[in-house]
Structure 1
């Protein structure tokens, strides 16, 4: 209810900006997770092993920091809005080109380039959204914005379910080019960040990186370590789960899709519920509790003897993993 009340209190420009940034992050995640559903057919077509194909995910994640640096610099120099549109077009075009990759080397190159676009989207989108919202709404809406990642996973599962049986893995990546249409919405309805506009009007002295590291180096190291652990937990439980369901459990497309849809719903629910509880119990306490619960859920998540328990274990596992994020 609080989220609805705050959303209604926003003006039209603020609502449009948040919706655009949420969709940008959701569709970015959609494009990333599409590959996680088709490791096996991609490996078969290119005559590679599954571990060789999963290296494409590693390349994508490795290139994300480079994308964050490039588009972060562009965002500081030219504003958040225009670089965000360029970034969305960039990763959408790369996603489309992936559908026509003629060989495995080209496929890996394109997934590396996608990582640059993926890395740029979050920083630009989050900055534009948070800088456009009133201070009282930023805490809650930053958590909602992060849930776009879980919504992207849900969309990827649904797209796989509907598209793959008819058009194969290449058809999925053609569908993944649709986020480019979001640029039309941003161009028409989203204004530039007011914080960036005010900053451009004021000539601020440049801060030296050495001074920043001296003042905030310990906090930066802690944050980097924490986010490394969070990403290990998130990608470790998501990226190969669809392959596990097909390869180890022998599920067909329909069953695999249904389980991953439930899995994604668990992530959305966890991020929302535990994010709400953290307002009362504190962030650290909720993170620790969710992570510990996730450990105890591993047997049901992987080794469940029956499908019903596996589905429940998957739902609860993502509830805890994304709950820690929330």
Structure 2
């Protein structure tokens, strides 16, 4: 691997390592940018197409449902053909589909395009995470994991900024936002063209070919299969936590608390700052305190923050509650790229993290319609509280009963750090 280590000091990232991390971060940022465009404008699209908010909320569900398909297709392909090439193809695919959403003539066409977009989005995270984690030194995985996962918050932040600019300075409307989604993805393709292939993958691929290892043989191992089921359940709880605190919230600010659209967007920008801070700090902290300990800490802390987040009505308290909530939610998420990568079998590291993440996403895909229904029949505060209390508890419990492999060597030539607990 192209890493630099000193016998007694911490490892540092090479230039190629940094390019790989930046490429993965940028790809995930642009992916989230396009996803959150729908979250921010689905009420506007509902008005244009003459459909209900519940039907429009299903657009996000459709995207999430298709993510496991993309994770499987692109993940298995990357385990055979390499991370870099497949990532570039995936980015090109979802960029084109996102751009075409700007020209959807009706709800049906937009739904079909979002289904296709979900396939591309499903491939992005697992491949970007595996490439980055395979590149960086073990001592830096926690910090890099926290930074990498915050592409999600960055994408949300950029979507909010773009929404403000488009709606205040132009008459392009929601179609203009989708048209913009192709431009940053082109930059991602450029960056990825300068990243070298993962040497860990090359070594693993050579070993698998020499030993004639098959996917069936790997998944047939009891430990691998049990871990797969466990990680899917863990990621289901994680995705309920993130989508449950993010997707309905902009609508809650506008329709529930009657803030202006601009005020709601400024609040979104603020709480995404909390997400960026929490994910980076907690990801780095997991290198010292452990992946699971950080997740449990963040999930438990989310419970006393929930009343402030869901029941506040004044601007100051809403800003404080949403900032703190996204700090702990994305703080827990900052651990995940490293955690899933370290727990994945080497031969299917392109497939395994992505499929566990995205199957969990699929199972949590009905979060937004459920929250919208509860808000319509009761209130937004009721909807947020009754869906999030069990989710925080589930995240804490699943993390506490699991295993971790912090510092685990991803290749034979890489030295483990500390005393990892293998799953």
Deviation of the 1:51 alpha carbon: 0.8
Of 155, 180, 186, 2:192 maps to 186
Task: State the TM-score, normalizing by the size of structure 2.
Answer: 0.72
SS in 1 for 2:104: coil
SS in 2 for 1:48: coil
Distance in structure 2 (CA, Å) of the matches to 1:107 and 1:284: 39
Q: Any conservation in 2 of the 1:278–1:286 contact (CA below 8 Å)?
A: yes
Of 131, 135, 141, 1:138 maps to 141
Deviation of the 1:200 alpha carbon: 4.2
CA RMSD in angstroms comes to: 2.0
Deviation of the 1:114 alpha carbon: 0.7
Distance in structure 2 (CA, Å) of the matches to 1:282 and 1:41: 43
Instruction: Indicate yes or no: 2:77 matched with 1:69.
Output: no
Instruction: Indicate yes or no: 2:85 matched with 1:78.
Output: no
Distance in structure 2 (CA, Å) of the matches to 1:8 and 1:208: 33
What corresponds to 1:195 in structure 2?
200
SS in 2 for 1:305: coil
Distance in structure 2 (CA, Å) of the matches to 1:311 and 1:173: 28
Deviation of the 1:83 alpha carbon: 1.0
Deviation of the 1:198 alpha carbon: 2.8
Instruction: Indicate yes or no: 2:108 matched with 1:100.
Output: no
Distance in structure 2 (CA, Å) of the matches to 1:92 and 1:7: 38
SS in 2 for 1:297: helix
SS in 2 for 1:9: coil
What corresponds to 1:3 in structure 2?
none
Segments of 5+ residues of structure 1 without an aligned counterpart are 1-5
What corresponds to 2:282 in structure 1?
274
Instruction: Indicate yes or no: 2:28 matched with 1:47.
Output: no
Instruction: Indicate yes or no: 2:329 matched with 1:324.
Output: no
Question: What does 1:152-301 align with in structure 2 at a 5 Å threshold?
Answer: 152-165=155-168, 166=170, 167-178=172-183, 179-187=185-193, 189-202=194-207, 203=209, 204-209=211-216, 212-213=219-220, 214-301=222-309
Distance in structure 2 (CA, Å) of the matches to 1:172 and 1:232: 26
**Greater RCO (Cα-Cα under 8 Å, separation 6 or more):** 2
Distance in structure 1 (CA, Å) of the matches to 2:140 and 2:35: 29
Higher helix fraction (1 or 2): 1
Deviation of the 1:135 alpha carbon: 3.2
Of 114, 117, 125, 1:114 maps to 117
Deviation of the 1:210 alpha carbon: 5.8
